[in-house]
Structure 1
Amino acid sequence: MTKKIQYSDEPIGDFRIVADFLPSPDELALRNESTKITISLSSESVAFFKQAAAKHHMQYQKLIRQLLDDYVTHQKNH
């Protein structure tokens, strides 16, 4: 850039203050502690989850994890 910007004291114009909408660092932390496991699933089940995950543009492991978490929540409430 060879051209210098010239600043002035002219009014900027109408503006408004926007409330802070970004999450706090505490909210960015993982909500649930995770435990890594090894599990064997049928090829048919894995293929099903991979296809469903691809349709929703997400990872199939995340889809399986969400299904298990929803199941646990449902069982705890009964």
Structure 2
Amino acid sequence: MKNTLKKKEKKIEYKNAPKEIADAIQVSEVVQDFLPKPEDLVFKKETVKVTINLSKDSVDFFKQKSKKTGVPYQTMINSLVDKYVDHFKES
């Protein structure tokens, strides 16, 4: 059994708004959403999967920071390597 919910559109009346705001609301137009989706804002670089051995202390450090920030520890390590490369890359 499919459960489908239909959202009912309700006209909202602003009774306590100051006159200028109430008038502006009455003559306003709905604008279509023009912003990109969040996933389209992130520019992903081409990646290559690698296997690497790191010290336990290093991994523990990044995992601890990951818990505090909510950023995956692998992403932190990747960012660190990218910044290192950018810093020392020959122009």
TM range (shorter): 0.5 to 0.7
Match of 1:41 in 2: 54
1:27-53 Cα shifts (integer Å, max 9, x gaps): 568531000000111111100010111
Percent identity over paired residues: 37
Whole-angstrom CA distance in 2 between matches of 1:31 and 1:57: 19
Alignment pair present for 1:52 and 2:57: no
Alignment: residue pair count: 69
Whole-angstrom CA distance in 2 between matches of 1:50 and 1:29: 23
After TM superposition, where is structure 1 displaced by more than 4 Å over at least 4 residues in a row? 27-30
Provide closer, same or farther for how the CA distance between residues 29 and 60 of structure 1 changes in structure 2, counting only shifts above 3 A: closer
Q: TM-score, normalised by structure 2?
A: 0.58
Match of 2:89 in 1: 76
Pairs within 5 Å for 1:20-31: 20-22=34-36, 27=40, 31=44
Q: Deviation at 1:72? A: 0.8
Q: TM-score, normalised by structure 1?
A: 0.66
> Which runs of 5 or more residues in structure 1 are unaligned?
6-11
Secondary structure of the residue aligned to 1:33 is: coil
> Which runs of 5 or more residues in structure 2 are unaligned?
10-24
Match of 2:76 in 1: 63
Q: Which amino acid aligns with 2:34?
A: D
